[in-house]
Chain A
Amino acid sequence: QSALTQPRSVSGSPGQSVTIPCTGTSRDVGTYKFVSWYQQHPGKAPKLIIYDVNTRPSGVSDRFSGSKSGNTASLTISGLQAEDEADYYCCSYAGTQTPYVFGTGTTVTV
């Protein structure tokens, strides 16, 4: 099971929006609704910000939103803020024997 593909980096100015694509296959992203996104600041543990493609956990800013089309999921960060500078990882369910496949990770620069 190969890692999901993400761009290495994206950047935007404060207040702008950025979208991070996450490309998988019909064996993972394309088949299941269980796509999640994690934010990781340097030296810190990952934090769940989106699950089930487009659901935000309690306490996560509504500036984060998720979507999916075919084999590609996307994370959009609206109204970029300095605190959004971090690494972002997508993750998809890929079946009972491979419940988690992470993306390659994207560094967001504000």
Chain B
Amino acid sequence: EAQLVQPSVEVKKPGESLRISCRESGYGLSPFWFGWVRQVPGRGLEWMALMSADSSDSRYSPSFPGRVTMSVDVSTRTAYLQWSSLETSDTAVYFCARRPSVTGSPFGAWGQGTLVSVSS
């Protein structure tokens, strides 16, 4: 079964670091890109970052300057989103998504989301 697997919940304190994962499987060998989308509770979707599955190219939303770092482990087809110092405002659900490598392609597949809760 084709899927993007994410952990369900991560609970952290302000100032702590965090790396969340998204493992892709079952979609075949065609080139693709991973993306991350944030959803603050009760709010809308916000695109954060995009990286090719071979990790050769990436894009970051100007709305999150320097706040997060995206990476991809090519051998395990796993994407990561990392924070060095969390803030309470980072509390949100983070969805990973997958899109073909063609420019303008939509996110055709989504993970179930990781709820990141940051509280003292």
Which of A's residues lie within 8 Å of B, judged by CB? 1, 3, 32-34, 36, 38, 40, 44-48, 51-52, 57, 89, 91, 93, 96-105
Contacts and interface: CB of A to CB of B under 8 A. Distances in A.
Contacts of B47: 91, 99-102
Given A89-B44, A99-B50, A105-B44, A57 B108 contact: yes
Interface in B16-67: 35, 37, 44-47, 50, 59, 61-63
| Most A C-beta atoms less than 10 A away, residue of B35, B45, B107, B108 | B45
Given A45-B95, A46-B95, A97-B59, A34 B104 contact: yes
Interface of B: 35, 37, 44-47, 50, 59, 61-63, 95, 103-108, 110-113
Contacts of A104: 44
B104 A32 contact: yes
Contact of B106 (A1, A44, A91, A101): A91
A36 B62 contact: no
Q: Binding site of A, secondary structure by majority: helix, strand, loop or mixed?
A: loop
A45 B61 contact: no
B106 A51 contact: yes
A47 B59 contact: no
Given A34-B104, A93-B104, A100-B50, A47 B45 contact: no
A98 B61 contact: yes
Interface of B is mostly: loop
A45 B110 contact: yes
A44 B61 CA distance: 23
Contacts of B105: 34, 51
A102 B44 contact: yes
Contacts of A105: 44-45
Given A100-B50, A105-B45, A45 B113 contact: yes
